[in-house]
A and B are shown apart, each in its own frame.
Chain A
């Protein structure tokens, strides 16, 4: 599985757009990029997934450049409730039983 690198922590303010970048230099051709969010005392929650270019849903956008060696999770107009740990994962369609490999994640802190 491709290894990922992301900042350990980030700070921002309410109403701002937050971009968290993840590096995955060894991403394989069939790998997808997935982001999860984890609040204290809760399990991780799926946010968004993409393979290339841009993906947008009601929560976030995911930008993936052509070489796919990095990706950026974009959270528009964050609020205090977006304070959480965000994990970037890279993996292929391995049949479902491989399990997810989590890195250390990015601890995002939103201030008033």
Chain B
């Protein structure tokens, strides 16, 4: 079984559209994250949720809205997509109390905005 699964794996859409990326983890972790990796391969955290509560919200446009229906799921909804949103988005999870290790990442969602 995949520990952290994201869907879809690839997403191609037009500017101005609204899209969602889903993430689920079956590891029993309390904390989940969304990361963005741009074309230069720089990996940056976007959001962090702990037990369905938003903990970190880095400087991300409010067009991006995370939703956590339960601690096993963290979805990312993006409104009014722009060309600059094209990137690979990674979901990750970790147990509580461990900020440096024990992170498990999903395989990523490659978003292309045309």
Contact = CB atoms under 8 A, between A and B. Distances in A.
Contacts of B92: 43, 100
A104 B105 CA distance: 17
Interface residues of B, number: 33
Interface in A12-64: 31-32, 34, 36, 41-46, 49
A92 B41 CA distance: 24
A32 B100 contact: yes
Given A46-B102, A97-B50, 12 more contacts: A34-B101, A41-B108, A43-B4, A43-B106, A44-B103, A93-B100, A97-B48, A98-B56, A99-B33, A99-B45, A99-B99, A102-B44
Interface of B: 4, 30-31, 33, 35, 40-45, 48, 50, 55-56, 90, 92, 94-108, 110
30 contacts: A32-B101, A34-B101, A36-B103, A41-B110, A42-B107, A43-B105, A43-B107, A43-B108, A44-B90, A46-B102, A46-B103, A87-B43, A91-B99, A93-B97, A93-B98, A93-B99, A95-B97, A95-B99, A96-B50, A96-B94, A96-B96, A96-B99, A97-B56, A98-B48, A98-B56, A99-B48, A99-B99, A100-B45, A100-B103, A102-B44
